[in-house]
Amino acid sequence: MSIFEWNVWQWLAVFQHEVLLFAAVFFLIGAIDDLAVDLSWLWLRWTGRVETGRIRRSELQQRMLHGPAAIFIPAWQEAPVIAQTIRHILAAWPQEQLRLYIGTYRNDPHTLAAAMQAAPGDARLRIVIHDRNGPSTKADCLNRLYKAMRDDERRMGQLFSTIVLHDAEDLVDPAGLGLLDQAIAGGADFAQLPVEPLPQSGVKWLGSHYCEEFAEAHGKAMVVRGAVGAALPAAGVGCAISRSALQGLCRMRSDLKPFDPASLTEDYELGLTIAENGGSCRFVRVRGEDDLLVATRAYFPSRIDHIVRQKTRWVHGIALQGWDRTGWARGGIETWMRARDRRGPFTAMLLLLGYTLLALTLLLLAAANLGWTDPQPLSPLLAALLFTNLGFFVWRAIWRFVFTARNYGVKEGVLAVLRIPVTNLVAIMAGHRAVVAYMRALAGGALEWDKTPHDRHPAEEALQITPARPAQA
């Protein structure tokens, strides 16, 4: 039969076969990429190079800092959570050498009022009002906090030793500041603690899907990056920079400010830039006597529109802006890691193709059962690719279960596997939205702090910290 005599079902079958072959090949390439990280982690564990340390939280909570520490928290429309964050930080980290800088905007009086009411009389709190309307970008707000810190340094006649970045919704770990200070004092120019999203009852399928993502990213991928000498991207929370490294960032810019206001993901670029300047980067992963990670915890977005907005910013800033802003580093390992960071939009396209092919396959099977067309057998090559990808999918599901269950328990590990379709749907939506936003930016569109709102703080219902006796300077 000539191809000109084919009916619509035969054309659909050919289309399905060709697109399925394309998708299967690139799914396999992605699976091999992930497998390389898995095997690297297994080798590092086998050789004892990535053992998770053990500490006593109370000792690090009371640890004398090796020098003054500045905590930067930019805040735009964070009135529901900023007060709890301030109170919790000042209670969990009692060191007198700490200065907590809260960046607010002149057109956001509610956040300003909440911050002012949080810790009256505590001399360690600095509330900084930006001299422009918000929202700008997070990087711009951080630059305003840097200026306030420089003003304090001139008044004190002393430089800060460590700068720690956090977000307005964070629940800090009592041992976090002591551990970061220890890493900087030990010679690191940049140090990052793990991030541990908190499970959310009632929104298991949305807000809690961050749990498995960060469990693998900060339990495996970041560990491998640190072990092989690749640059460590900052998470933007629970990360510390030495004063000398921050000054180095300032010298790189004509305005002598450390952060680029045009960047959507200044935190991601931070660790890469410090490493490119020859700085030492360290991922600090330890557990306390209670077997819990020393980590930064928070409730992540739980509404689909908020989740997609946040993931869009990450994909736009890391995968798309990253091509323009950070380029490709020299060396195979670093190039590999940056390629992994930037595969988000392509992965989203492959996932969309995969689900489209699934629907098309079901349609063709139904047509064959109704006698409208003949069943089309798979070619040996395509069958082999599909079975191989199925095996890798099972492998990925096992890893996802293990890492999530280690941090959150078996029940959450099972839910992590069941949430895979939800995670994929979010990736598809965020990838599409990020490409559109990137094209708009290339056309000259203005950048804004497209942040997600927060209405709950874990300090209200989770880890309550009893204020400890302040450590004297």
**Which is more confident, 247 or 204?**
247
Task: Give 371's pLDDT tier (boundaries 50, 70, 90).
Answer: confident
Q: Which residue is it, tokens 């869009």? A: 312
Helix (H) or strand (E) holding 274: helix 266-276
Q: Please tell me the distance from the alpha carbon of residue 345 to that of residue 434, in angstroms, as a whole number.
A: 8
Q: Please tell me the distance from the alpha carbon of residue 214 to that of residue 175, in angstroms, as a whole number.
A: 20
* Count of domains observed in the chain: 1
Cβ atoms 111, 82 nearer than 8 A: yes
Q: Which residue is it, tokens 């928290």? A: 73
Radius of gyration in angstroms for the set of CA atoms belonging to the chain, rounded to a whole number: 24
> Averaged over 308-336, what is the pLDDT?
84
Q: Please tell me the distance from the alpha carbon of residue 285 to that of residue 290, in angstroms, as a whole number.
A: 15
From the list 6, 73, 102, 23, the residue with the least C-alpha distance to 357 is 23
The gap from C-alpha 191 to its chain's centroid, in whole angstroms, comes to: 15
In the chain, % of residues over pLDDT 70 = 94
pLDDT digits 0-9 by tens, 132-184 = 998 888 999 999 999 999 999 999 999 999 999 999 999 999 999 999 999 99
| Strand pairing category for 162-165 and 239-242 | antiparallel
Q: Which residue is it, tokens 């056309």? A: 443
Task: Give 463's pLDDT tier (boundaries 50, 70, 90).
Answer: very low
Strand partners, 191: 240, 282
**Which is more confident, 447 or 366?**
366
pLDDT digits 0-9 by tens, 186-228 = 999 999 999 999 998 766 678 889 999 999 999 999 999 999 8
Q: Under the phi-then-psi rule, with left for phi > 0, alpha for psi from -120 to 50, and beta for the rest, what region is 331?
A: left
| 471-to-59, 66, 180, 467 alpha-carbon distances in Å | 11, 12, 16, 12
Q: Under the phi-then-psi rule, with left for phi > 0, alpha for psi from -120 to 50, and beta for the rest, what region is 184?
A: alpha
Q: Which residue is it, tokens 């009022």? A: 113
From the list 114, 119, 117, 125, the residue with the least C-alpha distance to 76 is 114
pLDDT digits 0-9 by tens, 93-142 = 999 999 999 999 999 999 999 999 998 889 999 999 999 998 888 999 99
Q: Please tell me the distance from the alpha carbon of residue 341 to that of residue 220, in angstroms, as a whole number.
A: 14
Instruction: Look up the CATH number of the domain holding residue 433.
Output: 3.90.550.10
- Quote the domain boundaries for residue 406: 1-473
